[in-house]
């Protein structure tokens, strides 16, 4: 953390921010402020350089074409890989998650190289798009309550040996491989298919990232009443499909 200010970088809001993924930055900032932490938020558009000194990087989902453009620019830029090499934490959603892997299928139907920050490979699902509310159990190692989110993707993501599934689904598809896994993570890099925005539905994920960035085991509690109300509503929606 630089000079007592937590640097949060929101990567390419102009290309990657579907289904309210911007909410992740807002929730992360808010929960940091509630703990009296000073936050420096940097929104980095796709025509700007990715700073390498951030503590936490957030990347959202996107349509297929912006996803390809974002991958091209991130590869050329190289800043995100350097930041991770420096120990930065990255949390990515859907298209962002696919970009962090080794490769994915782009809007032209071609294999597009990712950043290789997560040991995953994404292909194009042959079946119907995965769309709807999801409920899952996050890897017990992370100590978080159940995961709720909304998914909308055609891509299917396969995990390699050095990526752990972020969660196991009870309802919904997640990675779409049929093995019940959802998302992936390693020591500092996280990927999920969950929109919602996922941190509004799962504020403990924001807290997890803050704890990792601050290298602390616990944070002062905050009032989660409104989050809990949203969680309960969306969990009910996932378990009682229309």
Closest CA to 147 of 27, 221, 17, 234: 234
Which residues between 68 and 97 bind ligand GLN (CB under 6 A)?
94-95
What is the separation of C-alpha 168 from the centre of its chain, rounded to a whole number of angstroms?
A: 16
**Cα–Cα distance for residue pair 75/61, rounded to 1 Å:** 17
Confirm if 101 and 74 have CB atoms less than 8 A apart: no
Min dist CB 53 to ligand GLN, Å, is 27
- Cα 14 to Cα 9, 43, 63: the distances in Å are 14, 9, 12
Min dist CB 78 to ligand GLN, Å, is 23
In the chain, where do the E strands start and end? Answer: 5-11, 38-44, 56-59, 89-93, 103-105, 111-113, 120-124, 130-138, 147-153, 155-159, 167-171, 181-182, 184-185, 189-192
Residue among 52, 154, 177, 186 that touches ligand GLN (CB under 6 A): 154
Site string for ligand GLN, 15-54 (x = CB under 6 A): ---x------------------------------------
**Cα–Cα distance for residue pair 64/45, rounded to 1 Å:** 18
Stretch that binds ligand GLN, among 62-70, 72-80, 139-147, 221-229 (CB under 6 A): 62-70
Tokens 């602390």 correspond to 216
Q: Residue 206 interacts with ligand GLN (CB under 6 A)?
A: no
Min dist CB 21 to ligand GLN, Å, is 8
- Smaller CB separation from ligand GLN, 165 or 191: 191
Site string for ligand GLN, 93-122 (x = CB under 6 A): -xx---------------------------
- Smaller CB separation from ligand GLN, 55 or 151: 151
Stretch that binds ligand GLN, among 56-64, 138-146, 210-218, 232-240 (CB under 6 A): 56-64
**Cα–Cα distance for residue pair 29/10, rounded to 1 Å:** 11
Residue among 17, 67, 92, 181 that touches ligand GLN (CB under 6 A): 67
**Cα–Cα distance for residue pair 99/81, rounded to 1 Å:** 12
Residue among 23, 54, 155, 197 that touches ligand GLN (CB under 6 A): 155
Q: Return residues touching ligand GLN (CB under 6 A).
A: 18, 61-62, 64, 67, 94-95, 152-155
């Amino acid at each position: 953390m630089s000079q007592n200010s937590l640097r949060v970088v929101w990567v390419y809001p102009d290309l990657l921010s579907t289904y309210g993924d911007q909410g992740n930055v807002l929730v992360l900032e808010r929960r940091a402020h509630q703990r009296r932490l000073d936050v420096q938020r940097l929104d980095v558009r796709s025509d700007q350089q990715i700073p390498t000194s951030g503590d936490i990087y957030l990347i959202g989902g996107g349509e297929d074409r912006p996803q390809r453009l974002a991958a091209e620019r991130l590869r050329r830029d190289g800043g995100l890989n350097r930041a991770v090499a420096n120990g930065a934490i990255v949390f990515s959603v859907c298209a962002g998650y696919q970009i962090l892997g080794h490769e994915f299928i782009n809007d032209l139907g071609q294999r597009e190289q990712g950043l290789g920050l997560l040991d995953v490979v994404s292909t194009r699902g042959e079946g119907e798009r995965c769309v709807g509310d999801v409920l899952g159990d996050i890897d017990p190692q992370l100590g978080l309550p159940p995961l709720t989110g909304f998914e909308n993707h055609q891509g299917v993501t396969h995990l390699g040996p050095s990526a752990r599934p972020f969660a196991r689904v009870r309802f919904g598809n997640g990675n779409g491989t049929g093995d019940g896994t959802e998302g992936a993570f390693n020591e500092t890099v996280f990927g999920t298919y969950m929109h919602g925005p996922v941190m509004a539905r799962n504020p403990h994920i924001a807290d997890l990232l803050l704890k990792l960035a601050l290298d602390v085991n616990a944070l002062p509690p905050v009032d989660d009443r409104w989050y809990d109300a949203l969680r309960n509503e969306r969990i009910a929606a996932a378990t009682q499909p229309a």
